[in-house]
Structure 1
Amino acid sequence: MSIRRFWSSPKTLGDVNVVTEELKNLYYKRLLPIEKHYSFHHFHSPSYEDADFDNKPMVLVMGQYSTGKTTFIRYLLEEEFPGSRVGPEPTTDCFTALMYGEEERVTPGNAITVDPKKPFRNLDPFGNSFLNRFQCVQMPNPVLERISIIDTPGILTAAKRKLSRGYDFQAVLRWFAERVDRIILLFDAHKLEFSDELTRAFGALYGYEDKLRVVLNKADRVDSQQLMRVYGALMWSLGKVFRTPEILRIYIGSFWSEPRQRCDHYNLIELEEEDLLTDIRNLPRNAAVRKLNDLVKRARLVRAHAHIVSHLKQEMPTIFCRESKKHNLIYELPVIFTKIQQQHRVPAGDFPDCTKMQEKLLGQDFSKFKTLKPSLMNSLNKLLTTDIASLVPLFQQQEQRKKSLPAVLDGEFLGTFRRDQFKGDPFKEMLKDDEVSEADSDEWAVEKYKPKYDEIFYNLSPHNGKLSGTKVKEWMTTTHLPNSVLAHIWRLADVDRDGMLDNEEFALAVHLIEGKLDGHWLPRELPSHLVPPSKRLSTSSDAPA
């Protein structure tokens, strides 16, 4: 049965679309007029567009150069993508948005920012220096049918911090951080270094720590004692940078498709990998909740901004000493923040960063600011108190149907999928030996390699001509390939889906493993020339019309 058939769920998808449309209507009706009235976009992010509400969940992958960002993405997609380069030096020199498309194509940054169907139109203010370093890659990858992935240039270390990018790297990161659903921050277990640019990049993530997932990559290349020290050093360094009492979750892994080195913490790496992949896999299910959370966060910032702007307008003189008064008000902005908190009961967490606000106010004409408009503020308060609350029943209905909502089911995410259609997957459940009918043998693409594969097969002591999932798993794990890769090989090899492998299916599995060890990508569906002869009639009769 095709995996894609589990992606179509019109009823539940309709629920998500209803929630998204309601959020879109609330933004255009309640929030956008206030943003325009108080020039919110001159100080903070541009206004939302339809594409910001309708786009698929996005994952931002960032980290220092040579930490495995591009390799991590290739690991998720299980294939190369145009423009991907890996190496010990800084190889990725641009932002790359990976999105789904029926045909593989690369669109330059200047062209993609004029497409109203893509959520990148507001990147235009960053100018040609950035847009020349931005591209959108579309490809028919099933993982990209449910999520989009943003690959980023490597953050420079201290030795290269004098190099200029030509655009505001921190501002671009913050633009993406505001709009993505998940931020994956990778560190190399071999070279843990916090450079100046990395510290500034952390500043771009301020306020979006809930989206952040930290990954300590290449953990199989160090022993357990070294891993413990590196993990502790990373926790200590992150605690100094992020101004939150909560501890960031750090995943330990080795995210590439090559065999892992056998180490004492091998099982820990497998468990951590599954946790992270499950977190990413569930992003489509939680997309509507994330959009609601971002809308509420933006509305609270708009409310604080309106009070700040109106207060500055009231304090400005009409004729004399306007410039000196302006500088005094900017200098006293922290005191003004406190006054607004007390007078209007605006929480301190809703206010923008004071230092950045002072910098932006220097170039503004205070005479153009507007005073508080009661009708607009009442509309904003209604949004936060009544309108959002009216959406709760829709979210509750969605929560009840969460198991039916589509998730990411391809690439490395197959290893975290636990549905009944993958019956007999030994990487998710242990099976007992059952009696099965013997299969006839015939020639196929694996035939010339089969004698050496049969020797391994019979050394594993098959029962009634078949090997159980337990025995096959024990042998397959000796290859040190990631469990998610081995799980995909199992599903390709177990053609009759009985949870066991006969000699032909086992030969097919070993053939796929050898191909993977030689650096080849696995097929998503088993090609006809690899289907064992005894299974060709059954697979063709089972195929959907």
Structure 2
Amino acid sequence: MKVLVSLCVFVPLLALATAEDEVVLDSILRDRSHIEETLRLAADEKAGDYAAALQRLRKIYHNSIRPMEQAYKYNELRQHEISAYPGRTLGDSATDGEITSKPMVLFLGPWSVGKSSMINYLLGLLDTPYQLYTGAEPTTSEFTVIMHGEKIRTVEGIVMAADSSRSFSPLEKFGQNFLEKLVGIEMPHSLLERVTFVDTPGIIENRKQQERGYPFNDVCQWFIDRADLIFVVFDPTKLDVGLELEMLFRQLKGRESQIRIILNKADSLATQDLMRVYGALFWSLAPLINVTEPPRVYVSSFWPYDYAPDTSRELFKREEISLLEDLNQVIENRLENKIAFIRQHGIRVRIHALLVDRYVQTFKEKMSFFSDPELVFKEIVDDPDKFYIFKSILAKTNVSKFDLPNRDAYRDFFGINPISSFKQLSAQCSYIGGCLLEKIERAITHELPSLLGSINSGKNPALSSCEATGCGEKPKNRYRRN
């Protein structure tokens, strides 16, 4: 009996001691000096040169690319080309806010894997009024955008969507229910001057999409299309793949170069168990990431507290610095990436205009006095290869066959936009404004590469006199028939 009483007293005391030890361990904060060093937060940037380059990029886009977008309704095609152009795209109507926006880092993954804790750690938000709420249960139910501001404040989703100076106005199309689940946090932080973080609700496999009250996958796709870096976070206890996670990786198709896999909370396992979990993670994701070179996987514990004892501290520290270097690379190359992105977008707009021009030209050639316009055009749209629509573009221009959009998208495109509403490229010229095709080709082949070269060489990317005033040569129309 005495032994039993002694055990009854000893066990609660042991549990209390263990709990106190855990509190002590959790109270030891990790040194964050390597974050500032790796991300070069104390380094001064040439803000004037950066602003001048953005101004020139905005000028090129509005003068040379956007007029072609509007003339041939490229944004209407974007609604139907889900598989036509995988990868990053502009919004429904590219605004100055979208062109000048900072790089976006998107955090995705199952619930309670440490996405919010990782953001708190990178920004040093622990024990501040604006630290993101974390917990063992699903805690993040909103899309939270953490961005730079002159003072700390919360911005409601309806305000973010209504502000045209921001890049989030296209989110209104997902409805008011979603805007209530969108929140912005502004704060004066040196890292947020260069990058914007987006925290997302965790994936819960047993929840139906309609229970969220908004199209979750469509919203994720919007952020994925605009993200410069995508962190997909897992922890050792949530490696199972369900329908929602499978759909997420399907949406990430074509973005493998931006994806980074993070195995978080690695210090909660012994080394041998960690190796097993690492292998299990690859086994779970292998069917979802069907590429020759898999995405980079970082193994560490990304939160403000010190690593657990008797774990691979040096390995976790090197992995963390490697991830920070990856993030820093995106930040330092943000202007080059944006110029390359706008140029890629311009190429797609040009190809679309050439295809619409070819459809219009074929329609006019096949029409006769007794022809039924609807039947003639249905025949062209249903079987474009019969009329060499796409093959003629490849033969007469320097377009790659791998850049051609999905031909099925044009059936829906012309179903909404009658072919009679488009002019041929030969008619898209004016004495003052020049030819749309000449302007977009000059931007693709000369102006944007020149801007990129001036940045890499360290020259002043300020606007030239002709670019500022719009002067130029008399328009030359090589599509006009003599």
TM-score, normalization by structure 2? 0.72
* Structure 1 residues 263 and 83, CA gap change in structure 2 (3 angstroms): closer
* Structure 1 residues 346 and 138, CA gap change in structure 2 (3 angstroms): same
8 A contact 2:141–2:202 mirrored in 1: yes
Q: Are 1:127 and 2:175 an aligned pair? A: yes
Q: 1:346 aligns with which of 381, 387, 399?
A: 399
Between 279-288 and 108-117, the greater mean CA deviation after superposition: 279-288
Q: Are 1:381 and 2:433 an aligned pair? A: no
Between 117-126 and 308-317, the greater mean CA deviation after superposition: 308-317
* Equivalent in the alignment of 1:65: 111
What letter matches 1:270 in structure 2? K
Distance 1:339 1:237 in 2: 45
Distance 2:382 2:459 in 1: 46
What letter matches 2:121 in structure 1? Y
What letter matches 2:372 in structure 1? F
Distance 2:215 2:63 in 1: 32
Structural RMSD (CA):
3.4
Between 328-337 and 15-24, the greater mean CA deviation after superposition: 328-337
* Structure 1 residues 143 and 364, CA gap change in structure 2 (3 angstroms): same
* Structure 1 residues 253 and 368, CA gap change in structure 2 (3 angstroms): farther
* Equivalent in the alignment of 1:41: 75
8 A contact 1:61–1:151 mirrored in 2: yes
How far did 1:314 drift?
Answer: 4.5
* Equivalent in the alignment of 1:214: 261
How far did 1:254 drift?
Answer: 1.1
8 A contact 2:209–2:215 mirrored in 1: no
Distance 1:185 1:324 in 2: 49
Distance 1:388 1:235 in 2: 40
How far did 1:33 drift?
Answer: 0.7
Any residues of structure 2 matched to 1:118-517 within 5 Å, and which?
118-157=166-205, 159-161=206-208, 163-242=210-289, 244-262=291-309, 265-314=312-361, 320=372, 322=374, 326=378, 329=381, 340-342=393-395, 344-352=397-405, 357=409, 360-361=412-413, 364-368=416-420, 370=422, 372-374=424-426, 375-398=435-458
* Structure 1 residues 41 and 367, CA gap change in structure 2 (3 angstroms): same
Any residues of structure 2 matched to 1:75-94 within 5 Å, and which?
75-80=121-126, 82=130, 84-94=132-142
8 A contact 1:67–1:186 mirrored in 2: yes
Distance 1:399 1:238 in 2: 45
8 A contact 1:95–1:133 mirrored in 2: yes
Q: Are 1:116 and 2:164 an aligned pair? A: yes
Distance 1:183 1:297 in 2: 20
How far did 1:325 drift?
Answer: 5.3
Unaligned residue ranges in structure 2 (runs of 5+): 1-35, 79-90, 427-434, 461-482
What letter matches 1:9 in structure 2? D
* Structure 1 residues 91 and 144, CA gap change in structure 2 (3 angstroms): same
* Structure 1 residues 204 and 362, CA gap change in structure 2 (3 angstroms): farther
How far did 1:274 drift?
Answer: 0.8
Between 16-25 and 365-374, the greater mean CA deviation after superposition: 365-374
What letter matches 1:276 in structure 2? L
C-alpha offsets along residues 43-101 of structure 1, whole Å, 9 cap, x if unaligned? 32322222223333321111122221111111111215648332333321111111122
Distance 2:340 2:215 in 1: 27
How far did 1:311 drift?
Answer: 4.0
SS of 1:59 mapped into structure 2: strand
**Higher RCO by CA contacts (8 Å cutoff, separation 6 or greater):** 2
Distance 1:192 1:324 in 2: 54
* Structure 1 residues 6 and 230, CA gap change in structure 2 (3 angstroms): closer
* Structure 1 residues 52 and 71, CA gap change in structure 2 (3 angstroms): same
How far did 1:134 drift?
Answer: 0.9
How far did 1:273 drift?
Answer: 0.7
Any residues of structure 2 matched to 1:520-535 within 5 Å, and which?
none
Distance 2:109 2:442 in 1: 40
TM-score, normalization by structure 1? 0.64
C-alpha offsets along residues 167-197 of structure 1, whole Å, 9 cap, x if unaligned? 3333322322333332212122322122222
Unaligned residue ranges in structure 1 (runs of 5+): 401-545
* Equivalent in the alignment of 2:44: 9
| Identical-pair percentage | 31
SS of 2:166 mapped into structure 1: coil
C-alpha offsets along residues 4-38 of structure 1, whole Å, 9 cap, x if unaligned? 9975736x222222222221111111110111111
